[in-house]
Chain A
Amino acid sequence: MSEIRALNEKVVPTTLSTVLTLAGVTLTRLGRGKALWIGGLFAALPVAYAIGVHARHVAPSPDDLFKISLLLLALLPAMYVGASIGEEIEDRTSTYLWSRPIARWAVLAGKLCALTPLVIALVVGGWYAGIRIWTDAAPTAMSCAALAAGCVAASLIAAGIATVVPKHGMALTIGYMLVDLFIGALPFSLNQLSITNQANVLANLGGSPSGLVTPVIAMVVMSGLWAAVGFERIRRLEA
């Protein structure tokens, strides 16, 4: 009885508190490193492209600019989510975390909660600023939502890959996403497996009517599979 009472005296952290603490630490560390600025430069690519094209008075084609934003999906989630999770596991700082009274999945959730909004802000922000410069008009809400959905899906994929191969989390995520871009450009149904293609379909920049359901389901399934791999892997991971 005394043992049970003693155990109860020490309060374990709530999941929300754990996720928020880890998210805060992740953002603080990111803000003090170089990765944030390098990512910011990448995110400025659509803006730079838009400025160049605008200066040459070329007829606006948002589709081209959107493709550059999709390219960022191959880079930024890998740079932030893949690298952060991979390094945490690989350099063994995670051993501090495994010894704490926290649910292991909360470690992954904390990283995702901190980094996914950042990725969304950079990718969507770059797209928004680029299109404003290029066309003097705001991009459609759907195109922004499609990019945001793509960011979430790519971040989950990066998390899954980084937990399985932490040493090469960033590189493999970039590789995976480049393959995803390639598959997405194929003119047959295999491109349904590509989240960048689904983001493109969801954005509906061509103006032709397209359903919401198929792209959303495809993105949820693809990223959900990787997220499940990541959460299961982190649950079993030993220091």
Chain B
Amino acid sequence: MNIVVADNCSKWYGHVLGVSDVSWKLAGGIVGLLGPNGAGKSTLIKMMGGLLQPSRGSLTVYGQSPFHDVRVRRRIGYAPEHESTWDELSALELVTAMARLAGVPAGKADKAAKEALDQMGMASSMYRRVRGFSKGMRQRTKLATAIAHDPDFLLLDEPLTGVDPIARVDIVERIKRLGEAGKTIVVSSHVLYEIEALTSDIVVIYRGQVLAEGNVYEIRKLIDRHPHRIRVECDQPRVIAAALAPEDHVARLSFERGGLVLETRDPDRCYDQIAKAVIAGNVAVTALSSPDNNLGAVFEYLTGEGGRR
């Protein structure tokens, strides 16, 4: 059964379009929502969390409208993108209050909050006020508020933004553990390697539309229609350029410090011809890479940014 079903779902704020005609289904697992700032990720997440209702079309979670059905929202845990929270409270007070507001009985909320904070690595700071927290601690506290009531479906809006690299690795591991525990998780980010570290199931959203979805390798098939980039780091880039420039599959060729970047519509043929040019010209190659193997390049291609570079 699908957990989320968006059917021709659109949301606009006055004249500004947030999400445009999105039809999408989510069955489960950890899914990365990928797109640049302003792409519509937060809008989609807020609609899934019941904070916004679609302007047109429909969006259901567990078969119900999350905006109107409070029972569905009981199954959702939401960590917003922004940092504003009840800073005057301690982390424990904040998470306990949020657990109470999610339906955890008074006698159990404190225990649930402590467990959630412990799960997010905040056990030693739970009695401190949120006002004095670092960005990483705030993110962990937000995640604790999202999981304290044991929801089935987690919506994490940019949970790694502004977090230092060590904390990032830790938070990623904790989110993965939640996924392994059977939670369905939607994580949004505009930073590609953050998503890459969490999941290979991605939804690429751009200008309010779902551009692509699926496994990163399936999405790679989509980009095969676009020029594929190959970076060659070598001592004689002009020799390779001269050999490949006449080829019709080469769409673009540019020089970089210590090498060149080719854009080709036929990667296999291009790799063969690079190898031949290297042997023929006695070129010393230090590195041969395809930026397209990185999720970042997938996103750039799918959003059209890569093609313009």
- Give A contacts to B, CB under 8 Å: 3, 6-8, 10-13, 17-18, 21-22, 24-25, 28-29, 32-33, 91-93, 95-103, 238-239
Contacts and interface: CB of A to CB of B under 8 A. Distances in A.
Nearest to A8: B71
B89 A29 contact: yes
Given A17-B100, A98-B50, A101-B102, A29 B86 contact: yes
11 contacts: A3-B62, A6-B152, A17-B106, A28-B93, A92-B84, A95-B82, A98-B51, A103-B70, A238-B46, A238-B52, A239-B46
Contacts of B71: 7-8, 10, 12, 101
Given A21-B97, A101-B74, A102-B70, A12 B103 contact: yes
Nearest to A97: B101
B51 A95 contact: yes
B279 interface: no
Residue from the set A12, A100, A103, A238 with the largest chain B CB neighbour count within 10 Å: A100
B71 to A, nearest CB: 5
Contacts of A24: 97
Contacts of A101: 70-74, 102-103
Nearest 8 CB-CB pairs, A to B? A99-B78, A239-B51, A101-B70, A101-B74, A101-B73, A10-B74, A32-B88, A29-B88
Given A3-B63, A101-B102, 18 more contacts: A6-B152, A7-B64, A7-B75, A10-B103, A10-B149, A21-B97, A21-B100, A29-B86, A29-B89, A33-B88, A92-B82, A92-B84, A93-B85, A95-B51, A96-B80, A99-B50, A100-B98, A239-B80
B101 A102 contact: yes
B101 to A, nearest CB: 4
A41 B302 CA distance: 61
Contacts of A3: 1, 62-63
Interface in B50-84: 50-53, 62-64, 70-76, 78, 80, 82, 84
B179 interface: no
A96 B62 CA distance: 20
Contact of A99 (B1, B51, B82): B51
Contacts of B155: 99
A28 B89 contact: yes
Given A3-B62, A25-B89, A101-B74, A91 B103 contact: no
A94 B164 CA distance: 27
A11 B99 CA distance: 12
A92 B80 contact: yes
Nearest to A98: B51
Interface residues of B, number: 39
B20 interface: no
B55 to A, nearest CB: 10
A13 B1 CA distance: 27
B51 A100 contact: no
A216 B103 CA distance: 38
B62 A7 contact: yes
Nearest to A24: B97
B88 A22 contact: no
A93 B86 contact: yes
Contacts of A33: 88
B89 to A, nearest CB: 6
Interface of B: 1, 46, 49-53, 62-64, 70-76, 78, 80, 82, 84-86, 88-89, 93, 97-98, 100-103, 105-106, 129, 145, 149, 152, 155
A99 B84 contact: no
A23 to B, nearest CB: 11
A17 B49 CA distance: 22
A14 B88 CA distance: 25
Contacts of B70: 12, 101-103
A99 B75 contact: no
Given A99-B51, A99-B73, A13 B80 contact: no
A53 B286 CA distance: 92
Contacts of B80: 92, 95-96, 99, 239
Given A17-B106, A29-B89, A99-B50, A93 B74 contact: no
A100 B73 contact: yes
Contacts of B78: 95-96, 99
Contacts of A102: 70, 101
A96 B145 contact: yes
A101 B155 CA distance: 15
A97 B71 CA distance: 14
Contacts of B88: 28-29, 32-33
A103 B74 CA distance: 12
Contacts of A10: 71, 74-75, 103, 149
A111 B103 CA distance: 19
Nearest to A236: B53
A97 B85 CA distance: 11
Contacts of B46: 95, 238-239
A41 B68 CA distance: 43
A185 B208 CA distance: 55
